[in-house]
Amino acid sequence: MANGSPAPTGFLGSFKTLGDSLLGTVQDRLELFSLELQEEKFRLIRIFLWISAAVFTGMLAVAFGSLTLVYLFWESARLAVLGGLTAFYAVALVVIIVTFRRFLARQPSPFADTLKEIGEDRECIGTKS
């Protein structure tokens, strides 16, 4: 048989066609998964960098602002300023945690497209539970 031989017929031909279709589908899903994994990696790196920058600069601002206030009120109201700063930082921490949780809740779930495609594949095959 030459390179241009006709496709196999009968049971064996159907089995080979089914196998080829199955492998093609698996390959497509793995490529999609790979792309989504890379996007997720870059998204997490960007989030980490932004959080690191915010924490670093925020801590410097808080430290120097606190030192300045305590220095200004050292003689008259040192304890009141320290208590006020502590309360302010506690409230700010709660606000930051709540805001960050809302941010995370709005993020798309990882690999949503891959899961959607696999679900559609299962519907086509008719094995959806």
The torsion angles phi and psi of 99, rounded to 5 degrees, stand at -65, -40
Position 8 scores a pLDDT of 56
Q: What is the mean pLDDT of the chain?
A: 83
Kindly state the tokens that stand for 5. Answer: 């031989």
Secondary structure of 55-82 as H, E, C letters: HHHHHHHHHHHHHHHHHHCCCCCHHHHH
pLDDT digits over 98-111, tens only?
A: 998 998 888 877 77
pLDDT digits over 29-78, tens only?
A: 888 888 888 988 999 999 999 999 999 998 999 899 999 999 999 999 98
Position 1 scores a pLDDT of 45
